[in-house]
Amino acid sequence: MGQIRTWTSRMNIRKKLVFYSYAIITPILLLISILLFVHNYRSAVKKEEEGCIQNVRNISDSINVLQNDIIEMGTYICINDEIRQILTTDEPQQLNQDARLWLNYASMQIIQDMVAISGQIKSIAIYPENGINPYLNCIDRSSSYLGSMEQVREQEIYRIAVQEKGKFLWQRVGRDKTDTYQVNQNDKIVMYREIYDMARKNKLGYLVIGSSAELFDGICRNSLRSEQESVVVMSEYGAELVRCGDIDDALVSEIIAQESSEPMGREMLQKSSWEGYHIYRCRNEATGTVVYEIVHRVGWRDISNTILLAPLALLIGFLIGLYPVLRVVSDIVSKPLYSLRVAMEKFMQGDFSQKVEVMTQDEVGEASACFNRMVDDIRELIDKNYILAIKERESELDTLQAQINPHFLYNTLDSLYWKATESGNDEIAEDILTLSQLFRLVLNRGDGIVTVKTEAELLERYLHIQKMRFGKRLTYEIFLEPEILEEKIPKLILQPFVENAIVHGFESADGSYTLAVSGRKEKDDMIFQITDTGVGMSKEQLEAIWDQADARKYATQRIGRYAIKNVKERLELIYRENYELQIESSVGQGTTVMIKVPCGLEESRSNEH
């Protein structure tokens, strides 16, 4: 076991998959082959047995059909009134003077017609017990009956028929046999019956009907399916009627003697075994005929050559055909793993652009997809931290540049404010104060997150200064719902759009214009809307706003170096995909900007940190 482990440890994954697959599948296939062999063996034995049972039943039914035709003929003769009158007459000498007495006093023509229709009956003999001349009719012209009742009484079969008191007896009469016929050139199956009166006390006559043995032999011969089978048909009283197949006479005698000694019981079909043979016998209740089918007992060696070949061929063929399948399967499994390993090694060396193609939906595919997500998350995290750091440095630099001695700027504006107040120029003083407050709000140092209320104050100061420029031409309105005033938003995300509306919408045109800024809360989001009635923009101008190639064109549209694209970038950095920024505009119809951001910015940032 240790050597196997050492050997397999040196294999690559492809060879391991093939090796372990064979190690697991081969015993399973071997077990399946053994079970299949056992199943096929049992099925073959069962099929053979069922075939024999059905065969012996079919033979019995076919012979029963032939015997029933003869029995019906015999029964008709025994119950015919005209024939019974002949058999019971007290004047036999008078009737014997008529050579055609059977045709003149009985309906023998009907019987002859029935015999012609049947085709199998070859001879009919009626021997009266009262001295009437017998009715002898041999249709095949190759046989002739015994001529007198005295000759018949000397036969053993006659004595048995008398003892059985009206039962049908069956016997095979071979050619040249003189116990039933004086001359007989063809084998016959003969039915014997003594005719009694209604009380079964007085003998009236003796009936003998012979049929062609060739029909009985043909049924049995055609039923043989192999040289291993033999069929023997016996009468109720042990007379052999038919024998077909290559079987020894002594063996048949021993088998029949043993089987005949055992009662059939209620089962009409039974199976037994005797010294290497299976014996199937079926008895007909109406005639008492017993059909024996004697079959050589089939051993496992006799069947194994035929049923073992299929499982063995299946096992070998499956193992051979399994190899290319396992190679393909191992390639399917090992190739993604190999690609994943190569990508991981390059990732460890600092190549964060590695991606693995997900070719399957199994565990390997899930591992590849997980690796791709990990690479994306790490790259996004690196990019985010890197960009945020750059933005913070730029913001600090912009603030430092804008705050060159801010106290000097504030003190100067404050001096101008008081000088205007002392001179009575209250309006100019108010404008200077608003400008000072605007600078304080814009240049206020911090992390760039303010309340909605602070942003609104910045807009108010900015629009107040613009109102000073445009006078009555500009009308503006700021309406923010009270419940969002304390919510936190990124600093200067509204002012660039207000400035853009004034610079591009109002400055280059004449007339009066209106600007409206609104904000409301909708579920867990805040929606800000900036609407103006300026000159508007075309579709090409809207697309150019987001075009990277036109970034420089719009870089000058800012306060403190914050531009419209800068706003979009900061929204993406802070809210990722949880924000909306839409700009709708038509030439001559004005412009509408909608910004949708989630509430609770400060709380979400704390959770991220």
Of 207-216, 248-257, 496-505, which range is least confident? 248-257
Last residue of one domain, picked from the residues 382, 398, 414? 382
| Structural domain that includes position 543 | 446-608
Using CA of residue 426, residue 432, residue 434, residue 436, what is the dihedral sign?
A: negative
Let me know if residue 308 belongs to a domain. Answer: no
- pLDDT tops 90 at residue 490: no
404 band by pLDDT with thresholds 50, 70 and 90: very low
Q: Is 469 helix (H, G, I), strand (E, B) or coil?
A: helix
pLDDT above 80 (res 507): no
Residue 290 and residue 351 in one domain: no
* pLDDT value of residue 332: 60
Q: For the chain, how many structural domains are there in total?
A: 3
Shared domain check, 170 and 52: yes
SS3 sequence of 245-267: CCCCHHHHHHHHHHHHCCCCCCC
**For the CA atoms of 575, 577, 578, 580, what is the dihedral angle to 10 degrees?**
100
> Is 608 buried (19+), middle (13-18) or exposed (0-12) by CB count in 10 A?
exposed
**Which of 382, 410, 436 is the last residue before a domain boundary?**
382
Residues 373 and 272 in one domain: no
Across 195-209, 238-252, 286-300, the highest mean pLDDT is recorded for 195-209
Q: Which residue has the tokens 């058999």?
A: 87
Q: Which helix (H) or strand (E) holds 106?
A: none
Same domain, 187 and 266: yes
pLDDT tier at 3, thresholds 50, 70, 90: very low
Do residues 127 and 162 make contact, with C-beta atoms less than 8 angstroms apart? no
pLDDT confidence tier of residue 379, bands split at 50, 70 and 90: confident
pLDDT at residue 525, rounded to an integer: 92
pLDDT, tens digit, for every residue of 452-485?
A: 998 888 888 888 878 877 878 889 999 999 999 9
Alpha-carbon gap, residue 454 to 229, rounded angstroms: 112
Q: Quick one: tokens of 332? A: 């399917």
Residue 416 belongs to a domain: no
Does 516 lie in the same domain as 462?
yes
Give the residue-averaged pLDDT of 166-180: 85
Structure tokens at 387: 């960009």
pLDDT of residue 227: 79
Residue 551 has pLDDT above 50, yes or no: no
Type of residue numbered 42: R
| pLDDT at residue 148 is higher than 90 | no
Q: How far apart are CA 597 and CA 573, in angstroms?
A: 13
Could you tell me the CATH number of the domain that includes residue 552? 3.30.565.10
pTM above the 0.85 mark? Answer: no
Q: What is the mean pLDDT of the chain?
A: 76
DSSP state of 351: -
If asked whether residues 114 and 240 sit together in one domain, one would say yes
Q: Is 12 among the domain residues?
A: no
Q: Taking Cα atoms as reference points, which of 459, 470, 461 lies closest to residue 436?
A: 461
DSSP-assigned letter for residue 550: G
Please measure the distance between the N-terminal and C-terminal CA atoms of the chain and give it in whole angstroms.
54
Asked whether residue 79 is domain-assigned, the answer is yes
Task: Give a yes or no: residue 40 inside a domain.
Answer: no
Confidence of residue 512 (pLDDT cuts 50, 70, 90): confident
Which residue from 576, 553, 549 is spatially nearest to 564, judged by alpha carbons?
A: 553
CB 591 within 8 A of CB 532: yes
Residue spans of alpha helices (H) in 423-550? 426-442, 452-470, 495-505, 539-545
Q: Is residue 280 domain-resident?
A: yes
Say what percent of the chain tops pLDDT 90: 9
